[in-house]
Homo-oligomer: A and B are copies of this chain.
Amino acid sequence: MKRMTPLSSGEGALLYETLATRLAEAIDSGSVKAGERLPSVRTLSRQYGVSISTAVQAYRQLEDRRVIEARPKSGYFAAAVRPPLPEPRESKPPATARYVVTSQLFLEYFNILDRPDIVPLGALRPDPSLLPTRKLASLLGLAARRHADLAASYSASAGTERLRRAIARRAFDYGCSFHAADVVITDGCVDALNLCLRAVAKAGDTIALESPTYFVMLQMIESLGMKAFEIPTNPRTGLSLEAFEFATRRKGTVKALMLTPSFTNPTGALMPDGNRKALAELCEKRGIPIIEDDIYGDIWFGEARPLPVKAWDKTGNVLLCSSFSKTIAPGFRVGWAAPGRYRDAVAVLKRIGSLFTPPLPQLALAEFVETGGFDHHLRKLRKSLAERQQRLADLVAESFPKGTRMSRPSGGYVSWVELPGKADAVDLFRKARDQSILLAPGPLFTTTGRFKNAIRLNYGSHWSREMEQAILRIGRMASE
């Protein structure tokens, strides 16, 4: 390790934090190799011109962050590089549709979801500190002053023209050519999914889903008296096209397909472009509308934003749904649908459902999207999330039992973890709850009781020492 220049603490940072950052950079850049021995505390203190206690604190922080390891009586070493955990396996649901009857487990999960004292490792919620909160609040205040009349008026059910235009314009950049008039603004993405589902299917109809799938989709299907048909899904490439093709050979078996092709919840799978094109064509040919949840589409860590299946839709058969809840302002509850040929049906259902979505937050969002640096914000958000995913993966590799598998999505907010052997995720969920940690156990994501050994972990919530400790604790609990 080369001698470096003496330190002065950076803006807002304590001296030991600045030192820790400098050391971590040296390790990240490879100028200190994995497993290499680090200077003694005394040497470090001399090299950087800091006190012994500052050097100790820096090493402790790096140890907490798993960047270095302390070996008793030998000193500190750069952490060994671990090979990434293997991926979870493709799911194998039974090939039948069934009415959804959600279990007691759903109640248990939702009963603690909003507990203020709980560490939200099993929630899927963006960290407020990653969102442009002050800016949005100030834009809302501005909209309220400028358009006070909108507080006192009924608006059109489809939503504010300006925001619908902004959405259509952005969607054009990712391959979708619909217009403002094709968009219906909704109360978040969940409202959009509901409306689209009700526009294409009724009680008794069968809806095909990924497996595992977002539990609120299961609850929607249950509450509407529909049946769920879970389709085998690969944790990296998403819905199995072969299985879906097979399941839909008999006309009328499946009324609609609802899926999240980009960074699906809970596995984070990303469907390849070729599959998207083939899926759009197959569904069009078989008369099966696709309800596409693209809520994580903007949260990509790779080369470019994934194109929605909608980009291959030539006939209005894809009902694209999204929102601003995972990118800007969950508390505004503004989502949207571009429901293709079902646009009018969705607009009618929107009016019957809640008349219209409040216009003032829509104007604040339109302003932010058009002129507030949305793209700049997204770049920062993606970078933070990618880093946190890496950190989560390191901590899981460090603390979870041997044989654990874990998805490493190229976007989104969550990873899917499969525990080895006879691990019981529901039991783990309850034990974690006793320690004020929220987990999302696998059986929440199916109507068949499978995924008993899986949990969904979230790296997008507020990241803290408490969160890291919680991950390590879960790892230890899973190892017992």
What chain B residues lie within 8 Å of A194 (beta carbons)? Answer: 352-354
CB contact between A361 and one of B134, B202, B353, B358 (< 8 Å): that residue: B358
Is residue A268 contacting chain B, with contact meaning CB distance below 8 A? no
| Chain A count of residues within 8 A CB distance of the other chain | 60
Q: Is A351 an interface residue (CB 8 A)?
A: yes
Q: Which of A31-39, A70-78, A135-143, A417-425 lies at the interface with chain B?
A: A135-143
Task: Tell yes or no: A187 within 8 A of B by CB.
Answer: yes
In whole Å, how far is A189's beta carbon from the nearest beta carbon of chain B? 9
Most buried by B among A187, A188, A203: A187
Q: A180 contacts the other chain (Cβ, under 8 Å)?
A: no
A147-158 vs B: 1/0 string, CB under 8 Å? 111111111100
User: B residues within 8 A CB of A187?
Assistant: 187, 353-354, 357
Main secondary structure of the interface of A (DSSP, over half): helix
Residues of B within 8 A of A349 (CB): 223
Docked Cα-Cα span, A188 to B360, in Å, equals 15
User: Shortest beta-carbon distance, A299 to chain B, in Å?
Assistant: 16
Q: Which residues of B contact A133 (CB under 8 A)?
A: 148-149, 151-152
Q: Which residue of B lies closest to A335 (CB)?
A: B354
Q: Taking the complex as formed, is A59 at the interface, i.e. its CB lies under 8 A from any CB of chain B?
A: no
A110 at interface, CB cutoff 8 A: yes
13 extra A-B contacts, CB within 8 A, seeds A137-B147, A354-B354 = A114-B156, A134-B148, A136-B152, A140-B151, A141-B142, A150-B331, A151-B329, A151-B330, A187-B357, A188-B354, A194-B353, A219-B348, A225-B225
**Interface, chain A (partner B; CB < 8 A):** 110, 114, 123, 125-126, 128, 131, 133-134, 136-138, 140-142, 144-145, 147-156, 186-188, 190-191, 194, 198, 202-204, 216, 219-220, 223, 225, 329-333, 348-349, 351-361
